[in-house]
A and B are shown apart, each in its own frame.
Chain A
Amino acid sequence: MIRKIVILSLGALLAALAGGSFHRSRHLREPVVLSSGVTQVKKLSAYFSKLKGTTNDANVYVLEGAEPGGGVLILGGSHPEEPATRLTAWILAEQSAVAKGKVFVVLSANRSGTTVTRPSGAYPPDFTIPTSWGGQKFRMGDRWSNPLDQWPDPEVYIHYPTRQNLAYVDIRNLNRCWPGRANGTLTERTTYALTELIRTEKIDLVIDLHEAELQYPVISTIVAHQKGQDLAAMASMVISGDEFKIGVDNSPPALRGLSHREIGDHTDAISLLFETPEPFLDATRGRTDAGLLLEGKDDFVVKAGQHGLLFEKIDEKGWPIDVRVGRHCSTILTVLDVWSEDHPDRAVTLRNVPRYAEVIAKGTGAFLRDPAKADPKSISYE
């Protein structure tokens, strides 16, 4: 009996250690020190009340310019395991200001997905971006909503409203649930609320930030709804000429549920989706730790590239987080420049956002603000 008690106690200790890690990860508070350009912090439930009190009642950071203009919605964290998306949105919320028009920024579009990591994926529970004041810790997150928030999954996910059959697990994938459904699952209600935001605020342009594995053909690109093809093509030419190579892909009309397809089809807005390379997501990766997440270096992925299995180049320098965040920052700025030039009456001018070279030179952490030195009233939590 004593042996059994000892073994049970060891098991309880293991469960407590694992459970403590999961609990800390799920409830880690991530501070956002608001830029002086943020004029309001709204909740997503302001656009759809049935989201109130749920995990996915995300913060919406509103930046309003002194001059009237167009409206832009920028989404980070549609897939929370793609950290450059949330970090780029963080920089916008903490640093930027709008001179003309309105910009709405969401840092955790699928907040539920930020509270869990991939089952059996051996993901780190969190990661830290180094800063001059020590570092800021972020939840790691997964591609899908947390099963603790939305369960069970169906045998087949039937997309609403097209009834296209999709993989069962994608009923928890925010970027397979557009345009959303008012009486649907938590993930569908989240995209429904975001669609309501787009309609209510008369958004002209939606930018959905993403990262992709190098074995996926849609990478280092802007995926554009047909309404935004000219805009994306011009932005791609400007960026590829001045900063780094980025392509354009057309949103396939037959693939449903994605932001670049459904937002363009169901609202007046143009929808664009940006992809940067993230070796952490590649199936052939080695050890899956915070180092791989932030440095993007992996010998196995390099080997896959030597065998011609990748759609993007990789070498021993990898794809560091600063490069990926810098790409998103510059792509946003260039798209807004091109948009504003073509639509002066609906122009949107964003200021104080670093470009690609500056993010690489100074590091992402240089654009995160120290919550310890900030007025508590100017801090929001994700």
Chain B
Amino acid sequence: MVITILYYLLVATAAGLMVWNLLKSRKWQEEVLYVIVLIPFLLRLLRLK
């Protein structure tokens, strides 16, 4: 259970960093890339897959 909680905290942190980078980015190609990479992290946080 402790490992599971730590894992979800890691996923949330990584997702947060991706959103932060997205906001800071100036290139639209990078923004699209961040959003695509973010999707599986969101699905895992929401316990959908």
Contacts and interface: CB of A to CB of B under 8 A. Distances in A.
Contacts of A283: none
Interface string B18-49: 00001100001001100110110011001111
Contact count band on B: 10 to 19
B35 A11 contact: yes
Nearest to A9: B35
A361 interface: no
Interface residues of A, number: 18
Contacts of A148: 47, 49
A4 B49 contact: no
A22 B23 contact: no
B35 A22 contact: no
Q: Is the interface of B mostly helix, strand, loop or mixed?
A: helix
A152 B3 contact: yes
Contacts of A19: 42-43, 46, 48-49
Contacts of B48: 18-19, 22-23, 26
A117 B46 CA distance: 17
Contacts of A18: 39, 43, 48-49
Given A11-B35, A151-B4, 15 more contacts: A4-B23, A7-B22, A7-B32, A8-B35, A11-B36, A14-B36, A18-B43, A18-B48, A19-B46, A19-B49, A22-B43, A22-B48, A22-B49, A26-B48, A151-B7
Interface of A: 3-4, 7-8, 10-11, 14-15, 18-19, 22-23, 26, 116, 119, 148, 151-152
